[in-house]
Amino acid sequence: NELTHLDERGQARMVEVGAKEITRREAIARGEVAMRPGTLDMILEGKTPKGEVFGVARIAGIMAAKKTPEIIPLCHPLALTGIDVQFRPDRELSRVEIEARVRTTGQTGVEMEALTAVSASALAIYDMCKAVDREMVIGAIRLIHKSGGKSGSFDREGEEKWL
């Protein structure tokens, strides 16, 4: 079985990484919340220019990234060195795009932290808007970039860089 989180008997474990090299590592993940155009308008027309909604969702993402090993059972605790979360409203497709970047210096990567940040930011947006739009859909949560560590860099094809 190639699933490293299961041992030779197929049982879950937090796999030992103590022999892996300590390197600087980075991961970027993205996702989106699709909503009705009127919902997106409400977010964007808040009394604070960029919308208090994004401010709250950003903090949700940053704090969730730090909480990743409590949320994902077999994830290693890591001393994260940096976390950014950005939002990009897309009126054409009536959705908010989310990007999270997480960095650490350690023995294992931070893909899960970046994906968890995106998920929590998306859930926070859903929470703040659910009174007006129950049918929003959170989707396309995916890894965009990963660097550092023995398995090498990864860049998902077809993803342009955000400005």
- Spatial contact of 64 and 117, defined as CB atoms under 8 Å apart: yes
Site for a second copy in 18-37 (CB under 8 A): 18, 24, 31
Regarding 41 and contact with a second copy (CB under 8 A), the answer is no
Max CA separation in the chain (angstroms): 57
Among this protein's residues, is 127 annotated catalytic?
yes
Q: What is the CA radius of gyration of the chain?
A: 17
Q: Tell me which of 7, 90, 127, 155 is the catalytic residue.
A: 127
- Rounded to a whole number of angstroms, the minimum distance from the CB of residue 92 to a second copy is 19
Q: Binder to a second copy among 28, 96, 110, 143 (CB under 8 A)?
A: 143
**SS3 assignment, position 158:** coil
> How many CA atoms lie less than 13 Å away from 84 in the CB half-sphere?
9
Contact letters for a second copy, residues 88-117 (x by CB under 8 A): ---------------xxxxx---xx--xx-
Q: Tell how far CA 142 is from the center of its chain.
A: 8
Contact letters for a second copy, residues 54-93 (x by CB under 8 A): -xx-xxx-xxxxxx-xxxxxxxxxxxxxxxxxx-------
Strand partners of residue 25: 104
Return the active site residues.
127
